Structure 1
């Protein structure tokens, strides 16, 4: 049998600051690959360190592991995935904009409740927990 050389999982973890469990998870998702030696240890190519650092940077930008997998697939097919990354980033920006609008509307609703409740002097009835919250119609 051929001797497999490369980095053991602990060495990759140490060089990247990523936990061994996370590296195994990345491998299960196909983000990184290893080969098994005769001793059943995982051995990673030196470029795995760069790949894991790329994954960490992409996550810091808000990309999901699924997104990152797609980017790496494009790369492995021999294409430069930058245009694809820009498309993903634009989608992420639009999602954030929608979330911001939802949060602003929710904040406004809470402020209305706060202002209305500040003038409310009702007293709890038997069995009530808090008449203010119980006065809310439906769900916010």
Structure 2
């Protein structure tokens, strides 16, 4: 092995702007494969490893988890184009966001109701052990985002 033709993990970290620990983590998850390990235990990466890291970072920007990115890379490593998987994962993310937006909208409306009620009655009677009678008046089963 001619170690000069490969990048050590520190060199890859400088090229990508990621910490060495992050690159090791990616390696441990199978997202980034070293070309080989030297007798010294160093991980050596090909020069296109920085493109792989850039792909991972872009996929994360789109909201893909490292597990999902691994699925995408596994499809690619089998020699297939993962675009249909990417589209399916993206559709699922959009559906999840729509659900979260609905939940957040309901929660916002609930908070606005509390604000209105508390504005009309800012100092309800309290028990000595209560930190804040306003919060104490809230039902644990009413909050939308428990």
Q: TM-score range, shorter-chain basis?
A: over 0.9
- Write the distance in 2 (CA, Å) between the matches of 1:126 and 1:39: 67
Number of equivalent positions: 139
- Write the distance in 1 (CA, Å) between the matches of 2:56 and 2:128: 56
2:140 counterpart of 1:138: yes
Q: CA deviation at 1:124?
A: 2.6
Q: Unaligned 5+ residue runs, structure 1? A: none
Q: Unaligned 5+ residue runs, structure 2? A: none
- Write the distance in 2 (CA, Å) between the matches of 1:111 and 1:18: 42
- 3-state SS of 1:69 partner: helix
Aligned-pair Cα RMSD in Å: 1.2
Alignment map for 1:91-110 (pairs within 5 Å)? 91-110=92-111
Asked if the contact 1:13/1:23 (under 8 Å) is kept, the reply is yes
Q: Give the corresponding residue for 1:10.
A: 10
- 3-state SS of 2:10 partner: helix
- Write the distance in 2 (CA, Å) between the matches of 1:54 and 1:125: 57
User: Given the two structures, how large is their TM-score scaled by the length of structure 2?
Assistant: 0.90
